[in-house]
Copies of this chain bind each other. A is one copy, B any other.
Amino acid sequence: MITALAGGVGAARLLAPLCRAVGPARVHAVVNTGDDEVLHGLHISPDLDTVTYTLAGAANPTTGWGLAGETWRVMEALERYRGQTWFRLGDRDLATHLYRTQRLAEGAPLSAVAGEIAKAWGIRSHLMPMTDDEVRTRVTLAGGEEVSFQDYFVRRRHSVAVTGLRFEGAATSRPAPGVLEAVAGAERLIICPSNPLVSIAPILAVPGVEEAVRARRQDVVAISPIVAGAALKGPADRLLAELGHEASVVGVARLWAPIAGTLIVDEADAGLARQVEAEGMDCLVAPTVMDRPGVGESLARLAVGDTLSAS
């Protein structure tokens, strides 16, 4: 069993080659639901869906989220009403939200629904939300206003300064069924190259999860989402800086050192390996930018230790 803590696009891009490398049935992914949102009455789980669609080979390869070959009939029609079209929901993607919302209304827990959706896409990996309870990432903007994560991320295109984050509901949430078992029972734990503060931190904020991961520290391998001081995608670099962290692999090492024994950094950051080690982590250097064939699979193999002896 290989268990990954996962956000959305960055995580999905690793999980797909990880499944190829170790076999999908061995892969367990504990997925962030802090950026879930209810819009139009529909329960939207962006990270779960991104991971699902990617593992199904159905994701839009350009954006990394949403479905390939998507159509936008519903959103186009919603424009007539000047409705909330800032969160673009494709027609086929909407079916996922309709199904999830209906099942939740029938009393099914989110984890069961995530499993049903994954199964419907033929996925043999084990995808689970971090919790079945409602945890919502709330973002405090520089002006003092607090907004939902999607409001910050999508509606405002994360182009506004952030002064704080909190995970509403986390304190009273419980890990979803299977989460603690997947952490405790894994041969290797991977912290995906997701945004540390808004994708991985919410997972760790669910009571019991961070402790369970820390107990496995020597088997935990994190992959830096920061390469040469910048995020490959999204606002991770900016958020780290705005919230008092260093937007570098060293900053990432300071965040993960308490819970992870190893940090994989990109070759571009080879010169910072000693500083990473000074934070108390082993540092592995490898290509991490999954823009060429084979990089992801090599990275996945490195993360699970297949080539640890060689590095």
> What is A's interface to B at a CB cutoff of 8 Å?
38-43, 71, 73-78, 80-84, 91-92, 94-99, 101-102, 104-105, 116-117, 120-121
Given contacts A41-B43, A43-B41, contact A102 B84 (CB under 8 A): yes
Closest to A77 in B: B95
CB A38 to nearest CB in B, in angstroms, measures 8
When the two chains form their complex, are residues B94 and A74 in contact, meaning their CB atoms are under 8 A apart? yes
- Distance, CA A40 to CA B41, complexed state (A): 8
Q: Which residues of B contact A102 (CB under 8 A)?
A: 39-41, 83-84
Q: Which residues of B contact A104 (CB under 8 A)?
A: 41
When the two chains form their complex, are residues B116 and A95 in contact, meaning their CB atoms are under 8 A apart? no
Given contacts A73-B71, A73-B91, A95-B74, contact A116 B40 (CB under 8 A): no
Q: Which residues of B contact A78 (CB under 8 A)?
A: 95, 98-99
For the residues of A in contact with B, the DSSP-based class is: helix
In the complex, which of the residues A38, A77, A121 has the most CB atoms of chain B within 10 Å of its own CB atom? A77
- Distance, CA A95 to CA B78, complexed state (A): 5
When the two chains form their complex, are residues A91 and B116 in contact, meaning their CB atoms are under 8 A apart? no
- Distance, CA A74 to CA B90, complexed state (A): 9
- Distance, CA A102 to CA B92, complexed state (A): 20
- Distance, CA A41 to CA B43, complexed state (A): 8
- Distance, CA A40 to CA B92, complexed state (A): 14
When the two chains form their complex, are residues A120 and B80 in contact, meaning their CB atoms are under 8 A apart? yes
CB A86 to nearest CB in B, in angstroms, measures 12
- Distance, CA A39 to CA B99, complexed state (A): 10
When the two chains form their complex, are residues A81 and B105 in contact, meaning their CB atoms are under 8 A apart? no
Given contacts A81-B116, A94-B94, contact A40 B74 (CB under 8 A): no
Closest to A75 in B: B95
When the two chains form their complex, are residues A42 and B98 in contact, meaning their CB atoms are under 8 A apart? yes
Partner of A77, one of B41, B91, B105: B91
Closest to A101 in B: B41
Partner of A99, one of B40, B42, B91: B40
Given contacts A43-B41, A73-B73, A91-B74, contact A96 B81 (CB under 8 A): yes
